Copies of this chain bind each other. A is one copy, B any other.
């Protein structure tokens, strides 16, 4: 899988997943990797960034069989960001589709 394609998109994927339910970091790696491979070295700095920007909040929860899990919860700003990014992505994907199908010509 082309690494470059993922740039910026993983942020959208994380926000989108969190818009359905709260998740902890390790869980996000497992869940997202079913569709798009993402490594721990990517997710943790990304989640830290999202928290710093106010798009998510965190809370700890004990776990049987491992250290406590840090859950991430979408804020209102995060939900707005998710919607915005999703819209941007769809417009971008359409533009690419247009270019690779039509060769950028008006057909």
Contacts and interface: CB of A to CB of B under 8 A. Distances in A.
B2 A5 contact: no
Stoichiometry (number of copies): 2
A96 interface: yes
A102 to B, nearest CB: 9
In this complex, the member of A8, A19, A85, A99 whose beta carbon has the largest number of chain B beta carbons within 10 angstroms is: A99
Interface residues of A, number: 35
A36 interface: yes
B8 A103 contact: no
Interface of A: 1-5, 7-9, 12-13, 16-17, 19-21, 31-32, 34-36, 85-86, 88-89, 92-93, 95-100, 103-105
Which 10 residue pairs across A and B have the least CB separation, nearest first? Answer: A4-B8, A20-B103, A7-B7, A4-B7, A35-B95, A16-B100, A31-B104, A5-B92, A13-B99, A5-B8
